[in-house]
Amino acid sequence: MQKKPEILAPAGDVRSMLAAYAAGADAVYLGLKHFSARMEADNFALPVLARLVEVAHSQGRRVYVALNSLFKPADLSSAGRLIAKLERDVKPDSLICQDLGAVELAKQAGFQGEVYLSTLANLTHAKAMEAAADLGVNRVILPRELDLNEVRSLSKACPDSLSFEIFIHGALCYCVSGRCYWSSYMGGKSGLRGRCVQPCRRVYGQKGKTARFFSCRDLATDTMVKELMSIPKVVSWKIEGRKKGPHYVYHVVKAYRLLRDNPSDQKAVKEASGLLAHALGRPRTKAMYLPTQPQAPAQPGAHTSSGLFVGQVEKLGRKGKSPAFALKPRVKLFPGDFLRVGNEDEPWHFTHRVTDKTFSGKYALLTVTGSRAPKPGTPVFLIDRRDPEIKKKIKEWENKLEQCHAPEQKGINFKVQMPAPAAPGKPGGMLLARNLSRPRRGGQKGAPVGNITALWLNPGVARTTPKALYGRLFWWLPPVIWPDEEQAWQELITFTLRKGGKRFVLGSPWQIKFFNDAQVELIAGPFCNASNAAALQVLKNMGFKRAVVSPELSGKDMLSLVRQSPLPLGVVIKGYWPMGISRFPVEGIKAAEPFTSPKNEVFWSKKYGENNWIYPGWSLDISQYSDELQRAGYELFITMNESLPRNLPQETRSSEFNWNLTLL
Residues 349 and 441 in one domain: no
Residues 236 and 351 in one domain: no
3-state SS assignment for residue 97: strand
Residues 347 and 262 in one domain: no
Residues 496 and 570 in one domain: yes
pLDDT more than 70, % of the chain: 94
- The CA distance from 71 to 73, in Å, is 7
User: CATH no. for residue 366?
Assistant: 2.40.30
- The CA distance from 599 to 276, in Å, is 36
User: CATH no. for residue 644?
Assistant: 3.20.20.380
Q: Residue 418 gets which letter from DSSP? A: P
Strands (E), 553-658: 569-575, 580-582, 595-596, 602-608, 611-616, 619-621, 636-640, 654-655
The residue segments making up the domain with residue 125 are 6-170+217-286
Q: Pairing mode, if any, of strands 569-575 and 546-548?
A: parallel
- The CA distance from 136 to 441, in Å, is 40
pLDDT bin (cut points 50, 70, 90) of residue 187 is confident
Please tell me the number of Cα atoms within 13 Å of 30 on its side-chain side.
Answer: 28
| Nearest of 96, 72, 98, 102 to residue 84 by alpha carbon | 102
Give pTM, 2 decimals. Answer: 0.92
CB count within 10 Å of CB 561 equals 28
pLDDT computed for residue 424 by the predictor: 67
pLDDT computed for residue 110 by the predictor: 96
Residues 510 and 542 in one domain: yes
Task: Say yes or no to pLDDT of 448 above 60.
Answer: no
Domain count along the chain: 3
Task: Say yes or no to pLDDT of 450 above 60.
Answer: no
Q: What is the pLDDT of residues 58-70, one digit of tens each?
A: 999 999 999 989 9
The mean-pLDDT minimum among 198-202, 310-314, 319-323, 422-426 falls in 422-426
In a domain, 164, yes or no: yes
pLDDT bin (cut points 50, 70, 90) of residue 370 is low
Over the chain, what is the mean pLDDT? 90
Which range has the top average pLDDT, 85-94, 320-329, 403-412, 449-458? 85-94
Task: Say yes or no to pLDDT of 447 above 60.
Answer: no
Residues 273 and 314 in one domain: no
Residues 507 and 641 in one domain: yes
Of the residues 363, 382, 401, the one at which a domain ends: 382
- The CA distance from 239 to 26, in Å, is 12
In a domain, 95, yes or no: yes
pLDDT bin (cut points 50, 70, 90) of residue 367 is confident
pLDDT computed for residue 441 by the predictor: 43
Task: Say yes or no to pLDDT of 449 above 70.
Answer: no
Residues 163 and 35 in one domain: yes
In a domain, 24, yes or no: yes
Alpha helices in 86-124 (DSSP H): 100-108
Q: Pairing mode, if any, of strands 204-206 and 209-211?
A: antiparallel
In a domain, 303, yes or no: no
Residues 485 and 515 in one domain: yes
